Copies of this chain bind each other. A is one copy, B any other.
Amino acid sequence: MKKVKLYDTILRDGSQGEGISFSVEDKLKIVRKLDALGIDYIEGGNPGSNPKDAKFFRRVKNIRFKNAKLTAFGSTRRAKKRAEGDPSLQALLKAGTPVVTIFGKSWDLHVRDVLKTTPEENLRMIKDSLRFMKKKGKEVIFDGEHFFDGYKNNRDYALKTLKVSQEAGADWLVLCDTNGGTMPYEIESIIKEVKKRFKIPLGIHTHDDSGMAVANSVIAVKLGATQVQGTINGYGERCGNANLCSIIPNLKLKLGIDCLTERQLKNLTAVSRFIDELANLAHNEKHPYVGSSAFAHKGGMHVDAVRKNPVSFEHVEPELVGNRRRVLISELSGKSNILYKAMEYNLDLKKDTPQARKILEDLKKLEDEGYQFEGAEGSFELLMRKAMGKHRTFFDLEGFRVSVEKREDNRLISEATIKVRVGGKREHTASEGDGPVNALDNALRKALEKFYPVLKKVHLTDYKVRILNPETGTEAITRVLIESSDDKESWGTVGVSANIIEASWRALVDSIEYRLLKERERKTSRDA
């Protein structure tokens, strides 16, 4: 039996985050993913508040859960009405989940200003609603909304809302920091008081408005809370809910609490990225544990230390959460970074050789010009090979021309023409595009696919532009970072120039050369 239960509310509270909108299909995918991860309670939505959630609860009935119990979320009955026949409670029953989560007001200010009813009636609303659900055979979680604000404002009343919930047979009392404004030392003293008075299991539900959601959750568990409510990636309204991707590894690896198995924990990074993809939100690189920068080392001293002993700059092993160590290439890097990369790229590079020095010199020179290789390892591998005399080009450019024309009818036409030579053969072709870079990309690949059919599968997946010294206006230096993919892998390349077309061109050429280089390596190893 697990000591601490994980409760995910991304499908309800998480969906209130700005820019988040899940379709019913998305929600079903997420449910399966959370169940496989090992989450104990999945809150599916508020069936009484919107028709999309009601539809979801009909469709989710076909899923057979391996780990999780599904819960439906809703409010207490309306003021001065009976629980029987209350539309919100009826919708909860109709959802057909084994668990229901009923939220009630624990802050008297909300009772007065928002519900506009009496404190006594609010207590009856909580008691009636919970008792009704217990009679229907449900596992019942009581979410004390604004519990901490309520406690600070009117301690006795906040505690009464828990007391009537206990009397009504609630299986869980969950203390909510709904506005996210509570400090860790307040959480500590309040939970200690609550813990003295109530014997049924406690849960914690926090928001990140003060940057304290993760800390407050962990502190609550340390003090005896046995349910943690949060969301994958911390999605949620305003600053977000407590982030389960931070809380889970803290509980497991720091507090030694078996909230997931070791094997399940290894899926955490993948689940985090999956949810980002589905939400169509950019991955937060700095995310504790699961971010792509979480174990990325840039300073030369750090890389040197990590090579000597990883624990020197890593608080846990990245593999435990399914993440990995990365060594970044930048002006702050020293020889250690480069040797580490050579090893990664399978290049035979020795310390203190002219080749190693040449690479470091080229790197510093290019970075002075505005290059940055952190997101462009494809270009960096090419740079290393060039410095080591291990590179050959795959085509020669005779010239290109890109034009954008706007006519009085407001139509805009972007066109590129290009002339390349491959092994004595010349190709002269042209293409249109959505903009000058897109047109150039199209034309270049059209010209080369004839010679290298493997390029047909390559496409750009990311395109970033940064102006480096913008104080000089449009004469500034432009850095273009692109990411390319085929069906197997993806790689980043970079180009810098005063001219955005030239910068894009350089990144495009690196992208293609990198892919062709990998193709040649594969062939060589097959032939060997």
Interface set of A (CB-CB < 8 Å, partner B): 15-19, 21, 23, 25, 49-50, 52, 109-110, 113-114, 178-181, 183-185, 208-212, 214-216, 218-219, 222, 234, 237-240, 243, 246-247, 249-250, 254-255, 280, 282, 284-289, 291-302, 304-305, 308-309, 311-316, 328, 330-332, 367, 372, 374-375, 397-408, 412, 414, 433-438, 441, 459-471, 473-476, 478, 482, 497-502, 504-505
Contact = CB atoms under 8 A, between A and B. Distances in A.
Contact of A332 (B16, B19, B212, B412): B16
Given A308-B113, A463-B476, A210 B315 contact: yes
Please state the number of chain copies in the assembly: 2
10 contacts: A16-B298, A17-B298, A18-B285, A114-B312, A209-B288, A397-B408, A401-B405, A402-B405, A435-B475, A436-B501
A315 B238 CA distance: 11
A180 B253 CA distance: 14
A501 B435 contact: yes
B308 A114 contact: yes
Given A239-B294, A473-B462, A436 B16 contact: no
A178 B315 CA distance: 9
Contacts of A21: 330-331, 367, 372
Nearest to A112: B309
The majority secondary structure among interface residues of chain A is: mixed
A130 to B, nearest CB: 20
A287 B215 CA distance: 16
B466 A471 contact: no
A441 B475 CA distance: 10
B238 A293 contact: yes
A222 B185 CA distance: 9
A499 B309 contact: no
B299 A437 contact: no
Contacts of A209: 288-289, 294, 315
Contact of A254 (B183, B249, B504): B183
B406 A401 contact: yes
A211 B247 CA distance: 8
A313 B179 CA distance: 6
Which 4 A-B residue pairings sit nearest by Cβ, starting from the closest? A181-B315, A460-B473, A215-B215, A211-B246
Given A21-B331, A404-B502, 9 more contacts: A17-B293, A18-B292, A25-B469, A210-B249, A210-B315, A397-B406, A403-B403, A460-B474, A463-B474
